[in-house]
Structure 1
Amino acid sequence: MSLPGLDRAAVIAAGGADFGLALADVRDAFALLRAGEAEMPAETSVALGAPDLPGRAYALPASLGGRFQAAGVKWTAHRPAPGDGQPMITSSTIVNDRRSGLPLGIVESALLTAMRTAAVSALALESLMPVPLRSAAVLGAGFHARTHLEMLAALHPGLERVLIWNRTRSKAEALAARSWPFPVAVAASPEEAARCDAVLTCTNAKEPILDAAALRPGRLVVQVGYHEVSFEVIDKADHVVVDLWGEFRLKSAKSLFQMHRAGRFPEERVAADLGTVLAGGFTPTPGSLVYLSSFGLNIFDIALAARVIATAGASNSAPTTHQDRSDWPWL
């Protein structure tokens, strides 16, 4: 049986870059997980490359019922650095029908990963803001930062102010110079950016760049990246929320999970997961400082991929093959 493949162009044509659809997918996936109609086993990985130039490939399986009825796996390779000019990270998702087991398709999933990550942040802006959302800051100027700015433009075009901060200022300036529906400026420091109502941290920083002194009550901090938020920020938060408190807390490099393993954050301090928030089980105190650790769940990858494959099939889109990233405007 042949397996239809969708490259980036086909994914976008099938609605893969639609934030409203991604937001609905993530919201429904949370509801299915809460209802016991979704499962997400732990990831597995294998080594890539030579011992002195290591890489790793990860398999992230999940299945969902509801309108998705899909089971699949996202396969992501973090390549060693061979200097061949090719992407350092490649990602594809294969999806089967959950009921019959028949294969439905395979998609290039780097864009979908960024979309589902930004959709989780969008849910946080909907449900966890301790004050009315008037301004937002994005830390970083890479792929996820750009996708978060696109999310803000699509879902919150009326923002009064958006700030961008990046270690390399020229990259932030280039991003700010694009056409946006709201005023965009480059912040001189993370501290200046943190004055906004919502702070979306989208960097690959291995050491904190946002500390507690920069934050005041009435802020929402959404951590998308690795370790750009200090333990002191998390300590200072009135409410700590997670997308899910899972086994990945035992090995993830995210700030909150590092803090937990260091014995400085007990599980009881988690105010809620996003599924509970969406079900109406938690509302932040007005004017409080709220912190969300966004890990990114396998079920979202399968949900978005299943929806895109179904849309492509319904519109009789021709199967396509994978291409390099050089012609992809999102990068």
Structure 2
Amino acid sequence: MSLPVLDRAAVIAAGGADFLLALADMRDAFALLRAGEAEMPAETSVALGAPEVPGRAYALPASLGGRFQAAGVKWTAHRPALDDGLPMIASSTIVNDRRTGLPLGIAESALLTAIRTAAVSALALEVLMPVPLRSAAVLGAGFHARTHLEMLAALHPGLERVVIWNRTRAKADALAARNWPFPVAVAASPEEAALCDAVLTCTDAREPILDAAALTPGRLLVQVGYHEVTFDAIDKADHVVVDLWGEFRLKSAKSLFQMHRAGRFPQERVAADLGTALAGGFAPRPGSLVYLSSFGLNIFDIALAARVIASAGVAHSAPKTHQDRSDWPWL
């Protein structure tokens, strides 16, 4: 049995970097989850490396019905620090046909993870904005921050202003200097960036970079990274939204779930999950302060990988029509 293996170039060639396709995948995945046609067990992990140089590999399984009919697992290795010049995270997604169990393919999934994360943020901008979206801030200058800027460029090219902040100013300057369809400025502080209508935090911060004083009404804050906001900042939000309130809240390092484990955020305070908002069951009050904790769900990874693997199979016998993203600096 021939099993296709897609590297990053093949993933992009099969539409893996197309945000409109990713948005459709996210919408359908949320709808299938609400309809009980998707399954997402808890992750499991194993140790890598030696005790003095530890690493860990994580398996995130899921299955979806609908147009996907896929079951699979994203396998992500957070490599031990070997100082070998290679990427610290290696990620691939294995997909099987949910109906027959037959393997469909394997896709390199670091880029897919960034695309689906930015697509979830795009859905939040669509259904959770408490004011018209005119400006947006991206905190961070790494992989996820760059992908979020690409998402804004693809879906919101008419923004009046985009602001970037990063702890290392040079990285923010380099990112801002790229050819964007909207004006881009570099903020001197996170507080300055947080004056935008939408604030997308895409850092790996282990300590908060935004406190309650930095957040004012009429903002949407989408937390993508780890522990980027204080508990008081979350308390200040008029609406707290999650992509899902799952068992991962018991272990996740994200700010909201740390707050929950500290006894400061009961489940009853969750205004809605994003799937409910997409289905029209929740809308923020105009002018309110909205906070979304974006965890990232296993079903998203399987949905994107299944669609890309299927598209790659079709592409073998059809002319290429994908959007060329070979100019992406992180390809």
Q: Same fold (TM over 0.5)?
A: yes
SS of structure 2 residue aligned to 1:46: strand
Gaps of 5+ in 1: 319-326
CA-to-aligned-CA distance 1:250-273 (integer Å, 9 cap, x gap): 000000000000000010000000
Percent of aligned pairs with the same amino acid: 90
Offset at residue 317 of structure 1 (A): 7.1
> 4+ runs of 1 displaced by more than 2 Å?
327-331
* Structure 2: distance between partners of 1:317 and 1:264: 56
Q: Secondary structure at the match of 2:54?
A: strand
Q: Quote the offset at 1:226 in angstroms.
A: 0.2
> Which residue does 2:321 correspond to in 1?
none
Paired residue for 1:181? 181
CA distance in 1 between partners of 2:230 and 2:201 (Å):
12
Indicate if the aligned counterparts of 1:60 and 1:75 stay in contact, CA closer than 8 A. Answer: yes
- Larger CA deviation: 226-235 vs 238-247: 226-235
- Calculate the TM-score normalised by the size of structure 1: 0.96
Partner of 1:285: 285
Deviations for 1:100-140, whole angstroms, at most 9, x for unmatched residues? 11000000000000000000000000000000000000000
Query: Does residue 264 of the first structure (1) align with residue 264 of the second (2)?
Result: yes
**Which residue pairs with 1:153 in the alignment?**
153
Q: Displacement, 1:218?
A: 0.3
TM-score, with length taken from structure 2:
0.96
Following superposition, the deviation at residue 329 of structure 1 comes to 3.1
Structure 1 residues 200 and 328: CA distance shift in structure 2, 3 A: closer
Alignment of 1:89-128 (within 5 A): 89-128=89-128
What residue is the counterpart of 1:219 in the other structure?
A: 219
Change (3 A) 1:314 1:192: same
Q: Distance in 2 between the 1:274 and 1:224 partners? A: 14
Q: Report what 2:210 is aligned to.
A: 210
Look up the match of 1:198.
198
The match for 1:322 is: none
Please tell me the residue identity of whatever aligns with 2:87.
P
Q: Does 1:308 align with 2:282?
A: no
Counterpart residue number, 2:323: none
Give RMSD over aligned pairs: 1.2
Give the structure 2 partner of residue 255 of structure 1: 255
CA distance in 2, matches of 1:187, 1:69: 45
Secondary structure at the counterpart of residue 133 of structure 1: coil
Whole-Å Cα distance in 2 between the matches of residues 317 and 131 of structure 1? 46
Q: Distance in 2 between matches of 1:182 and 1:92?
A: 33
* Structural mapping, 1:74-93, within 5 Å: 74-93=74-93
Displacement after TM superposition at 1:330 (Å): 2.4
- Report what 1:323 is aligned to: none
Taking the aligned partners of 1:143 and 1:20, their CA distance within structure 2 comes to 19
Aligned residue number for residue 171 of structure 2: 171
Q: Deviations over 1:54-96 (max 9, x none)?
A: 1100000000000000000000000010011111000000000
CA distance in 2, matches of 1:134, 1:317: 43
| Equivalent residue, structure 2, for 1:23 | 23
- The alpha carbon displacement at 1:328 in A equals 7.1
In the TM superposition, 1:308-327 aligns within 5 A as: 308-316=308-316
- 2:279 counterpart letter in structure 1: A
- Report the secondary structure of 1:199's partner residue: strand
The Cα shift of 1:229 comes to 1.0
In the alignment, the residues of structure 2 paired with residue 66 and residue 127 of structure 1 have an alpha-carbon distance, to the nearest angstrom, of 23
Q: Distance in 2 between matches of 1:94 and 1:329?
A: 26
